[in-house]
């Protein structure tokens, strides 16, 4: 597999040298991810929508949720026939996509630096705990990481060669990245900055090449996005590459709240009627809230985001790599590009931060870390082998990754208890039941309808539930105590209402529990206990 970003003057043999590390490391990465995926139980809320959209593309496009990024569902659709267990198929697809990150990592390591770091960078990508985690769930991060890293490869080549073909291909890959994760649109701004500065960074390029490259890249990028944007326009009434950005920003107002779960619940169950439609509208309408959220999220980057994305060992390697980067102008490889590639993610400071949103950048961060290891303790004439200090550091970091990767074998998946609760409801009543409680994962496995508590009293919720045919009330020990502490008695299994009868309790090894009550007068038929 030849590299699209083979360094100028490197010759074919340099690209051919990537075959061996590519095959070994990507194969090992896929096998590792498949092993971890086999230990997963349950599904994420976003994963439910991705699966639903994939099925809708096969049978009923009217059920397609336009407001979710479509690329992962599109890729998943042709593989659904492989098994009746669509959830397992989705995990396998994610595992393969995550293992393929190794290839663009190797290409980018050849295009962005002259240090011999291909094996090291590929190894770090293959065993990065956050990359393994994201690549074993029904999420879009695996395809986002693959398209984003390949976009970086081609953008670096466009920067170094001035090729309009490379600019067009970068536009295709950038558009696909945006179709996998909406924050991918921020990388269009990065491409503009990088190519606009090309005359200073790569002295031989003329200004007309810059304008042509920017025009081609932007037009192709927008052409890739246009069909999806047209669907968003039909659904929401306005043009956008992400139809729910305004509502997502309102959800993010829970950041910094003493009870973020309760704030999120209010935003979902009782949304404000005047939700801003775009990021600019939101910042102009609520500037104080935006500044406050950025300040809080900067703290959360240090507290949760960085440790969750890199773990302590990865943070140490990244720090070593950043101080070893060489900031040189062309025709030298643009190592500086690796340092600025993560900057578009600063836009996430206005939203709810989650470490998984940063996982598509693991390949870039791994290359920086590999450069640090390669140059650590090396004299002016670098050796083809790592120094003793670098070897010790690498071994310590890899050993620290082990427990993170092995956790699924020793800890029960947090989603398992909700899965079992949903399956119990389905066995008890069959598909099509209705229950009170906002638990989309339970509703997914029960093939049931969930009615949220909202801010209503239990009596009011029961009254509405009866009118809608609800047969159960569901409470959990994780979210409900924060969002509705007045209903805490439900979690304990207490007799908090004469119309509720305890029907079933699911509890995992960590103490997470889901309690299911039957509404006595919901149906004259008795629930058959499986």
Condensed to tens digits (0 to 9), the pLDDT of residues 105-123 reads 999 999 999 999 999 999 9
Q: In this predicted structure, which of 71-85, 92-106, 110-124, 375-389 has the lowest mean pLDDT?
A: 375-389
Tokens of 75: 């890729």
Backbone angles phi, psi at 475, to 5 degrees: -135, 150
Q: What share of the chain is helix, strand, coil (3-state, %, to 5)?
A: 65, 5, 30
pLDDT computed for residue 2 by the predictor: 41
Above 90 in pLDDT, residue 384? no
- Both ends of the chain: CA-CA distance in Å? 54
pLDDT computed for residue 13 by the predictor: 41
Helix (H/G/I), strand (E/B), else coil: 370 = helix
pLDDT computed for residue 364 by the predictor: 98
pLDDT tens, 310-361?
Answer: 999 999 999 999 999 988 877 778 899 999 999 999 999 999 889 999 999 9
Distance CA 44, CA 20 (A): 36
Domains of the chain: residue spans and CATH: 11-410 (no CATH), 416-519 (3.40.190)
Order of strands, sheet of 472-476, starting from the edge strand that comes earlier in the sequence: 449-451, 434-436, 472-476, 513-519, 500-507
pLDDT tens, 58-71?
Answer: 888 888 888 889 99
| Rounded mean pLDDT, 71-95 | 95
pLDDT computed for residue 507 by the predictor: 93
% of the chain beyond a pLDDT of 70:
92
pLDDT computed for residue 202 by the predictor: 65
pLDDT tens, 128-139?
Answer: 999 999 999 999
Tokens of 3: 């590299």
Q: Which of the 8 DSSP states describes residue 524?
A: S
Q: Work out the pLDDT band at 403, boundaries 50, 70, 90.
A: very high
Distance CA 37, CA 88 (A): 8
pLDDT computed for residue 179 by the predictor: 96
Residue 141's nearest CA partner among 16, 265, 46, 22 is 46
Above 80 in pLDDT, residue 470? yes
Tokens of 342: 């993560």
Determine whether 387 is exposed, middle or buried from the number of CB atoms within 10 Å of its CB (0-12, 13-18, 19+): middle
Above 90 in pLDDT, residue 377? no
Q: Work out the pLDDT band at 207, boundaries 50, 70, 90.
A: low
% of the chain beyond a pLDDT of 90:
64
Better-predicted residue by pLDDT, 277 or 168: 168
Helix then strand count (H, E) for the chain reads 26, 5
Q: Work out the pLDDT band at 390, boundaries 50, 70, 90.
A: very high
Q: Work out the pLDDT band at 15, boundaries 50, 70, 90.
A: low
In angstroms, the Cα distances linking 34 to 27, 149, 420 are 11, 22, 23
Above 50 in pLDDT, residue 3? no
Better-predicted residue by pLDDT, 414 or 177: 177
**What does the radius of gyration of the chain's CA atoms come to, in whole angstroms?**
25
pLDDT computed for residue 8 by the predictor: 37
Under 8 Å between Cβ of 505 and 515: yes
Under 8 Å between Cβ of 351 and 249: yes
pLDDT computed for residue 273 by the predictor: 67
Helix (H/G/I), strand (E/B), else coil: 516 = strand
Mean pLDDT of the chain: 88
pLDDT computed for residue 1 by the predictor: 40
Stated pTM of the model? 0.91
Better-predicted residue by pLDDT, 165 or 15: 165
Q: Is the omega angle on the peptide bond into residue 129 within 30 degrees of 0, that is, cis? A: no
In angstroms, the Cα distances linking 468 to 27, 328, 436, 460, 465 are 51, 67, 10, 13, 5
């Amino acid at each position: 597999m030849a590299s699209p970003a083979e360094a100028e003057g490197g010759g074919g043999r340099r690209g051919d040298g990537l075959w061996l590390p590519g095959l070994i490391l990507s194969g090992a990465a896929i096998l590792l991810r498949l092993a971890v995926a086999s230990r997963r139980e349950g599904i994420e809320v976003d994963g439910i929508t991705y699966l639903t959209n994939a099925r809708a593309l096969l049978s009923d496009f009217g059920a397609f949720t336009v407001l979710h990024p479509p690329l992962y569902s599109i890729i998943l659709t042709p593989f659904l026939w492989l098994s009746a267990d669509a959830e397992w198929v989705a995990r396998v697809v994610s595992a393969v996509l995550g293992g393929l990150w190794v290839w663009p990592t190797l290409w980018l390591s050849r295009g962005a630096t002259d240090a011999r770091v291909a094996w090291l960078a590929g190894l770090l990508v293959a065993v990065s705990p956050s990359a393994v985690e994201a690549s074993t769930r029904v999420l879009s991060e695996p395809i986002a990481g693959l398209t984003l890293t390949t976009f970086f490869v081609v953008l670096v080549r466009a920067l170094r060669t001035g090729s309009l073909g490379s600019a067009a291909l970068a536009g295709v890959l950038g558009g696909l990245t945006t179709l996998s994760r909406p924050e991918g649109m921020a990388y269009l701004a990065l491409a503009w900055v990088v190519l606009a500065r090309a005359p200073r960074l790569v002295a031989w390029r003329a200004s007309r090449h810059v304008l042509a490259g920017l025009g081609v890249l932007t037009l192709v990028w927008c052409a890739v996005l246009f069909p999806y944007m047209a669907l968003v326009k039909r659904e929401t009434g306005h043009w956008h590459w992400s139809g729910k950005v305004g509502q997502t920003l309102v959800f993010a107002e829970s950041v910094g709240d003493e009870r973020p779960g309760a704030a999120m619940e209010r935003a979902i169950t009782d949304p404000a009627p005047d939700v801003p439609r775009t990021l600019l509208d939101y910042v102009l309408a609520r500037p104080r809230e935006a500044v406050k959220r950025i300040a809080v999220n900067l703290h959360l980057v240090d507290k949760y985001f960085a440790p969750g994305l890199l773990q302590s060992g990865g943070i140490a390697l990244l720090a070593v790599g950043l101080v070893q980067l060489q900031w040189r102008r062309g025709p030298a490889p643009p190592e500086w590009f690796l340092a600025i590639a993560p900057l578009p993610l600063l836009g996430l400071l206005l939203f709810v931060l989650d470490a998984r949103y940063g996982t598509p950048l693991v390949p870039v961060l791994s290359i920086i870390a590999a450069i640090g290891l390669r140059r650590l303790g090396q004299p002016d004439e670098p050796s083809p082998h790592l120094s003793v200090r670098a070897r010790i550091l690498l071994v310590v970091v890899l050993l620290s990754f082990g427990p993170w990767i092995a956790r699924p074998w020793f800890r029960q998946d947090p989603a398992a208890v909700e899965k079992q609760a949903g399956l119990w409801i389905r066995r008890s009543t069959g598909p099509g039941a209705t229950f009170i409680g906002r638990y989309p994962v339970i509703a997914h496995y029960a093939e049931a309808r969930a009615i949220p508590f909202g801010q209503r009293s239990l009596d009011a919720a029961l009254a509405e539930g009866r009118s809608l045919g609800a047969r159960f009330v569901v409470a959990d020990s994780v979210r409900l105590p924060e969002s509705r502490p007045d209903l805490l008695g439900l979690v304990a299994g207490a007799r908090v209402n004469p119309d509720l009868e305890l029907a079933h309790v699911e509890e995992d090894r960590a103490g997470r529990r889901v309690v299911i009550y039957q509404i006595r007068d919901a149906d004259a038929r008795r629930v058959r206990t499986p």
